[in-house]
């Protein structure tokens, strides 16, 4: 039963962090197109690991993480007010390149010149 509570809290944290990131005025964060890839919360709600990715690439995501680390106190306070948690977890931010990786795979797939007729012929066999 407790795992459902952790999952629900994790989703709530992810949703609220997305809204809080939009309100931040730090140029390292506000000028980057950030996406929260994953949020993991420990069972006792003491730590929350947030994986962040930027479309501009891993270097841009690392700069944004530095901005997020400097604003961690504000983010944590806002999270506590919005979710009304008794104990707000300590936030740990990590930069990932998953958006850049996904975009690269998409470009590779789109560059393949597969005609629709060939695909239909293969399906009929």
Nearest to 98 by CA among 17, 37, 56, 39: 37
pLDDT at 113 over 60: yes
| 3-class DSSP state of 47 | strand
Specify the CATH superfamily of domain 2-124.
K homology (KH) domain (3.30.300.20)
- Return the minimum-mean-pLDDT range out of 46-50, 61-65, 96-100: 96-100
- The answer to whether the beta carbons of residues 50 and 18 sit under 8 Å apart is no
CB 33 within 8 A of CB 99: no
36 in Cβ contact with 17 (< 8 Å) = yes
pLDDT tens by residue, 92-105? 999 998 877 787 88
Distance CA 33, CA 46 (A): 28
Please tell me whether the overall predicted TM-score, pTM, comes out greater than 0.95 for this model.
no
């Amino acid at each position: 039963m407790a795992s459902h509570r952790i999952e629900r809290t994790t989703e709530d944290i992810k949703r609220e962090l997305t809204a809080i990131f939009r309100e931040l005025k730090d140029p390292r964060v506000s000028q980057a197109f950030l996406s929260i890839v994953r949020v993991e919360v420990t069972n006792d709600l003491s730590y929350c690991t947030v994986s962040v990715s930027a479309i501009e690439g891993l270097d841009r995501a690392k700069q944004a993480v530095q901005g997020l680390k400097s604003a961690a106190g504000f983010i944590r306070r806002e999270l506590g007010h919005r979710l009304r948690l008794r104990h707000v977890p300590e936030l740990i931010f990590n930069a990932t390149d998953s958006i850049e990786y996904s975009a690269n795979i998409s470009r590779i797939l789109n560059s393949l010149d597969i005609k629709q007729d060939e695909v239909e012929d293969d399906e009929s066999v």
